[in-house]
Amino acid sequence: MTARNAPLRAPTDWTSPAMAARVAARYRGERLFRLAGLGALCLAGLFLAFLLFTIVRTGWSGFQHSEVRVTVAFDAPALGIDPVVARGPAGVEAIRRADFNALMQRSAAAQLGPAADVVSEGAWLALRAAVLADRGVLGQTRTLWVPVRSSIDLIAKGKFDLDAPEVSRGVSNEDIADYRYLAARGLIRTDFNEIFVSAANSTDPELAGIWGAALGSLLTLLVTIAAAFPVGVLAAVWLEEFAGRSRWTDFVEVSISNLAAVPSIIFGLLGLAVFLNVFNMPRSAPLVGGLTLALMTLPVIVITARAAIRSVPGSVRDAALGIGASPIQVIFHHVLPLALPGIMTGTIIGMARALGETAPLLLIGMRAFVADAPHGLTSSATVLPVQIFLWSDDAQRGFVEKTSAAIIVLLVILLLMSSVALYLRNRFEKRA
């Protein structure tokens, strides 16, 4: 019995300095590890904050623009407008044909002296808009604020270091002289940029706006939701309620989960090859863009709709079946209305993704320069993210703030959409 006599070991001395040091080292490691975890999160948060800060800082001034004061004599004969015709039914057409550009140039040359060329090339549009808004202006003299060229605008906003030598400054001495001339006489002011929120794209930064792109995004998303929502929900209903286990069902499920992971640019290739080259649909159109994005968002909607349908309690189905409803009636009268908030959440998340998507739309031609807001589903259009991409690609310095301002608009819309989705999710979760 005493054959194996283990040598006696001294009990661990927990208070020895060596042991205390080891424990201390382990706790130090623990604290460092914890700090590293917090650090990783903070780094991600800092990056996000830095990104948003940069965008807001560069983009804020995009919502403002500089204007110069010009007094314009709206002399009808000189403009080639008959005041009587202008008030009549053909008035709009007559006003559109009139040469406001020449009037603008004359007025600027007369009043702004050496700084006459600061006026934007599209400033005459403001004169025309004034006449279109009120025909009574014809024959009168009015004081107007018209937009200035982008470089003057940037000087007014303090985007240049005016003390730097001319080569490295990015703006010419003439422009600075012009600006100082105007500023000294109080002829220039900076206020809300109504052009940015009401115009479409332009080659001149001071005349470019996001309204065209925003409308294009809206039309595209309408097509996307009209195509993806019904198909996605019906597919989810079939998979969840009717399809048994079969090879076909497996195939459908595998397709959906794989489509959810296919890079978005592949959908652009699909849209190009199928919608444009096989069906001959028009390039750059919201219709094609919307359908392409619909194929992309379909898996998202199907997956979330299935989860929402699955979470409807079985007792609801049993009760409805029990009082004689047919399976289809059970679905459309009871299950779908209960699952709707969950389905809406998924749909909004899918739409938010579609709204921010750029690459597939570039492939189906939505990067074309479109100077007008789109008129319909088949006219040429661009969307907000593509507009952002195009402006960021533009070498003119004035587009930097426009790009950031457009990003602010896009992010605000996305944030609103996510808030609605979050609200719906919370309400839904409470009831379930």
Partner 1 sequence: MTGLLVLLLMALALFGYWLGRRRGLALRRGTAIRIGTVHSLPVYHGLYVALVALLPALLVLAAWAVAGEAVIADRVIAAAPAASRPVSEIDRGAFMNDVRGLANGTLDAAFNPAATGVVPLYRTTRDGFELATGAVAAVLMAIGGAWAYSRLRPDFRARSQVEQMLQGLLVLASTVAILTTFGIVLSLLFESWRFFELVSPGEFLFGTHWSPQTAIRSDQIGSSGAFGAVPLFWGTIFIGAIIAMLVAVPLGLMAAIYLTQYADARVRRVLKPMLELLAGVPTVVYGFFAALVVAPAVRDFGVWLGISNASGESALAAGLVMGIMIIPFVSSMADDALMAVPADMRDGSYAMGATRSETVTRVLVPAALPGITGGVLLAVSRAIGETMIVVMAAGLAANLTINPFDSVTTVSAQIVALLTGDQEFDSAKTLSAFALGLVLFGITLLLNIYALSVVRKYREAYE
Contacts of partner 1 in 362-421 (CB under 8 A): 362-363, 367, 377, 380, 385-386, 388-389, 392-393, 400, 403-404, 407, 410-411, 414, 418
- Interface residues for partner 1 in 283-342 (CB under 8 A)? 295, 298-299, 302, 326-328
Least distance between partner 1 and beta carbon 281 (Å): 9
Considering only 273, 316, 319, 432, the residue that binds partner 1 (CB under 8 A) is 273
If one asks whether residue 83 binds partner 1 (CB under 8 A), the answer comes out as no
* Among the listed residues 20, 21, 48, 226, the single contact to partner 1 using CB under 8 A: 48
Sequence-distant (6+) residues with CB within 8 A of 180 are none
Q: Which is nearer to partner 1, 58 or 202 (CB)?
A: 58
**Residue 329 C-beta: closest distance to partner 1, Å:** 8
The CA dihedral of 229, 231, 236, 237, to the nearest 10 degrees, is: 110
The only residue of 133, 261, 323, 395 in contact with partner 1, by rule CB under 8 A: 261
Q: Which is nearer to partner 1, 70 or 407 (CB)?
A: 407
Among the listed residues 282, 310, 321, 340, the single contact to partner 1 using CB under 8 A: 282
Minimum CB–partner distance for residue 209 and partner 1 (Å) = 18
Q: Quote the radius of gyration of the chain (alpha carbons, Å).
A: 32
Residue of 56, 359, 396, 420 that binds partner 1 (CB under 8 A)? 359
| Chain residues 135-174 in contact with partner 1, contact rule CB under 8 A | none
Chosen residue from 80, 139, 170, 230 binding partner 1 by CB under 8 A: 230
d(CA 308, CA 356): 25
Closer to partner 1 by Cβ: residue 135 or 402: 402
Residue in 98, 235, 335, 348 binding partner 1, rule: CB under 8 A: 235
Q: Binding to partner 1 (CB under 8 A): which residues in 18-47? A: 26-27, 29-30, 32-34, 36-41, 43-45, 47
For 162, phi then psi, to 5°, come to -70, -15
Question: 304 Cβ partners below 8 Å, 6+ apart?
Answer: 342, 343, 345, 346, 347, 349, 350
Residues 89-128, interacting with partner 1 (CB under 8 A): none
Helix (H) or strand (E) holding 71, with range, is: strand 64-73
Within 13 A of 31's CA, how many CA atoms are on the CB side? 5
CA distance 161 to 400: 17
Candidate segments 115-123, 171-179, 207-215, 226-234, binder of partner 1 by CB under 8 A: 226-234
Rounded alpha-carbon distances, angstroms, from residue 44 to 40, 273, 352, 353: 6, 39, 22, 21
SS3 119: strand
Q: Which stretch of DSSP H or E encloses residue 292?
A: helix 286-310
- Residue 51 found at the interface with partner 1 (CB under 8 A): yes
Report the Cα 240 to chain-centroid distance in Å: 34
Binding residues for partner 1 restricted to 238-257, rule: CB under 8 A: 238-239, 242-243, 251-252, 255-257
DSSP 106: H
Q: Pattern 184-223, binding to partner 1, x per CB under 8 A?
A: ----------------------------------------
* Nearest by Cα to 381 from 368, 363, 399, 394: 368
Greatest distance between any 2 Cα atoms in the chain = 128
**CB-nearer residue toward partner 1: 105 or 379:** 379
Which C-beta is closer to partner 1: that of 205 or that of 299? 299
